Chain A
Amino acid sequence: MSEDARNAQVVSSPALETPMRTFYRNFFSSRVATIGLVGLALIFLAALLAPVIAPQNPYDLATLDIMHSRLQPGERSLDGQLIFVLGTDEQGRDMLSAILYGIRISIIVGFASTTIALALGLLAGLIAGYAGGRVDSLIMRAADIQLSFPPILIALILLALTGPGVSKIIVALVAVQWAYYARTARSAALVEREKPYMEAAVILGLSPLRIIARHLLPNCMPPLVVVAALQVASAISLEATLSFLGLGLPVTEPSLGLLIANGFQYLLSGKYWISFYPGIALLLTIVAINLVADHLRDILNPQLAK
Chain B
Amino acid sequence: MNHLPLLELRGVSKRFGTSQDVVARIAKVFGVGLPDHTVYAVDDVNVSVFPGEIVGLVGESGCGKSTLGRMAVGLYGMTAGQRFWKSEQLEKLDPASRRQKQLGMQLIFQDPVSSLNPRMRVRDIVGEAPVVHGMVAAAEKNAYVEELLQRVGLNADALPRYAHQFSGGQCARIGIARALALKPELLVCDEAVAALDVSIQAQVLNLFMALRAELNLTYLFISHDLGVVRHVADRVLIMYLGRIIESAPTPALFSSANHPYTQALLAAAPRLEVRKMVFTPVKGEIPSPLHPPTGCHFHPRCPHAFHRCKVEIPTFREIAPSHFSACHLND
Q: Please encode chain A, from 187 to 204, with 1 for each CB lying within 8 Å of some chain B CB and 0 for all others.
A: 000000001110111111
B99's partner among A12, A196, A200, A205 (CB-CB below 8 A) is: A205
A17 at the interface (CB under 8 A from B): yes
CB–CB B164/A10 < 8 A = no
How many residues does chain A have at the interface if contact means C-beta atoms less than 8 Å apart?
A: 33
Residues in chain A within 8 A of chain B (CB atoms): 1-2, 4-13, 16-19, 195-197, 199-206, 210, 214-215, 218-219, 306
B37 at the interface (CB under 8 A from A): no
- Please, which residue of chain B has its CB at the minimum distance from the CB of A207? B132
Set of chain A residues within 8 Å of B152, measured between Cβ atoms: 6
Set of chain B residues within 8 Å of A16, measured between Cβ atoms: 160-161
CB–CB A215/B117 < 8 A = yes
- CB-contacts of B85-109 with A (<8 A): 99-100, 102-103, 106-107, 109
A157 to B117, CA, bound (A): 44
- Please, which residue of chain B has its CB at the minimum distance from the CB of A199? B75
B132's partner among A4, A195, A210 (CB-CB below 8 A) is: A210
B109's partner among A4, A12, A199 (CB-CB below 8 A) is: A199
CB–CB A10/B207 < 8 A = no
Please report the number of residue pairs spanning A and B whose Cβ atoms sit closer than 8 angstroms. 107
| A6-B207, A10-B166, A210-B132 given; 14 more Cβ-contact pairs under 8 Å | A2-B210, A4-B203, A5-B210, A6-B150, A8-B203, A11-B165, A11-B166, A13-B161, A199-B75, A199-B115, A204-B103, A206-B129, A215-B120, A306-B164
CB–CB B75/A203 < 8 A = yes
CB–CB B162/A18 < 8 A = yes
CB–CB A7/B153 < 8 A = yes
A2 to B114, CA, bound (A): 29
CB–CB B107/A203 < 8 A = yes
CB distance from B185 to the nearest CB of A (A): 14
- CB-contacts of B205-225 with A (<8 A): 206-207, 210, 214
Set of chain B residues within 8 Å of A2, measured between Cβ atoms: 210
A27 to B150, CA, bound (A): 37
